[in-house]
Amino acid sequence: MTSAPSPSSSSCIPSSSRNPNFSFLLSRSVLLRAVYSFPSHRNRIRCSGLHLEASPPSSLSSSLSRRDCVVSRYAPQPLRALATSVAPGVPSSSVVGDDNVGVLLLNLGGPETLEDVQPFLFNLFADPDIIRLPRLFRILQRPLAQFISVLRAPKSKEGYASIGGGSPLRQITDAQAEELRKSLWAKDVPANVYVGMRYWHPFTEEAIDQIKRDGITKLVVLPLYPQFSISTSGSSLRLLENIFREDEYLVNMQHTVIPSWYQREGYIKAMANLIEEELKTFDDPEKVVIFFSAHGVPLAYVEEAGDPYKAEMEECVDLIMEELEKRRVINSFTLAYQSRVGPVEWLKPYTDETIIDLGKKGVKSLLAVPISFVSEHIETLEEIDVEYKELALKSGIEKWGRVPALGCEQTFISDLADAVIESLPYVGAMAVSNLEARQSLVPLGSVEELLAAYDSQRRELPPPVTVWEWGWTKSAETWNGRAAMLAVLVLLVLEVTTGEGFLHQWVVLPLFR
């Protein structure tokens, strides 16, 4: 197994819709303002021409000292204040009352054995929020998912084999759920905590079944993604919406959703704590560049579908660096996006390209921070710890470090508990005025209302390149990819309609024999 960073206090070792209450008196316009109330500016850190926040690698200069930095603000307003982790002055018992309270943690899921890899990949690519096919071809979603999962399974198995034969995500998430339950009980909120994974066991449907068996009457839905994205929290919430619509029990159960919590004080401080500790492992901590690496999403999700992920990610990095500056940690930093796949353009700058460019600029010490992950899994243990570390060393970076994922770090867990407690008075009866006045709360809403704000119609995204360019260009590569995809779709149509072909011969599509 690839060695992970020292987990210290953040490690997790597990012990042993249509509801009249859905409406929180929130109009769609108010909810949109709440969810999209990002600051109109960005703090830009420029050091003798160096733009270190979410900038293309080419903009990096050779000077990396924050001592020469000048902070320029593009608007007079300061960053939105941190969401405090102090619950309001209402006793916890008064908001619980006689209700049976539950908390549903949502996460991605991961294969626990090598045999799980291919079916896990199938579930992933069968999700229309991951691969968005034109309406005419949506009948091919599952055959295409089967085709891609079979092709990608061998390489993915190699990655999971290198980290011990499976993802530790379930084990860590179960431990987080248990620690959250203990923290809630310690704060006088007796609640049950459930784990629902999107693409592997325990599936969200399994968690909902247990919630019904336990007779939960108030439910707080808490995705374990600090920043909201259509492809992560949005996909899980869309699934919940479908489940709620079809179940009479769930229709009558009050609930609320905390869609993102990246700006909460406890989360920001917990991240700053881990970064500060890892910096101490370097011989010269002040010269270390802090390298935030976030999971990427297709650029069209942000530009065309209105995904707030990029804006939330950039603000999150700003807040963490502001917290570090309060502690006199003034290192240079940058943000990049990892894990891109396919021919379409994803959020930039890309992690691998940025690492290479940092090496060219003379950076010798780099501290990687997995900013969009709260649990260790293949993107941290294999992609960052192995692939990106190797790339960094080849690029001339001599000293490499990596901040562990939050896991069960106590400041983080306690803050999640506070977020749950703060949301309880709004389960089933949230007033607009309270939403706007309560700065300590992240934007809340029901599954249905949030999806109305976040791409509820799952609009078809326009192609990222509309003009053909001759030669070995990104445009040509994209069009070649589209031609190949069209050919694959035609072959799949023939396979499904005739029941014959090489996919059936290889037993890739046994369901269509």
* Distance linking the first and last C-alpha atoms of the chain: 40
- Residue 500 or 167, more confident: 167
Residue 504 has pLDDT above 60, yes or no: no
Q: What is the pLDDT of residue 358?
A: 98
Write down the number of H helices and E strands in the chain: 19, 11
pLDDT tens for 233-279 read: 999 999 998 898 888 898 888 999 999 999 999 999 999 999 999 99
pLDDT tens for 319-367 read: 999 999 999 999 999 999 999 877 789 999 999 999 999 999 999 999 9
pLDDT tens for 97-127 read: 788 999 999 999 999 999 999 999 999 999 9
Residue 90: how many other CB atoms lie within 10 Å = 12
Which residue intervals of 83-163 are DSSP H helices? 92-96, 117-125, 141-162
Looking at 8-22, 89-103, 114-128, 205-219, which range is the least confident one? 8-22
Residue 413 has pLDDT above 80, yes or no: yes
- Which of 274-310 are b and which e, b meaning 16 or more Cβ less than 10 Å from the residue's Cβ? bbebbbeebeeeeebbbbbbbbbbbbbbbeebebbbb
pLDDT tens for 35-74 read: 333 333 334 333 323 334 333 333 333 334 333 332 322 2
Mean pLDDT across the stretch 432-457? 51
In angstroms, the CA 330 to CA 350 distance is 24
Name the band, by pLDDT with cuts 50, 70 and 90, for residue 177.
very high
- Residue 286 or 12, more confident: 286
User: Angle at the Cα of 306 (from 305 to 309), degrees rounded to 5?
Assistant: 115
User: Which residues make beta-bridge pairs with 255?
Assistant: 219
Q: What is the pLDDT of residue 251?
A: 83
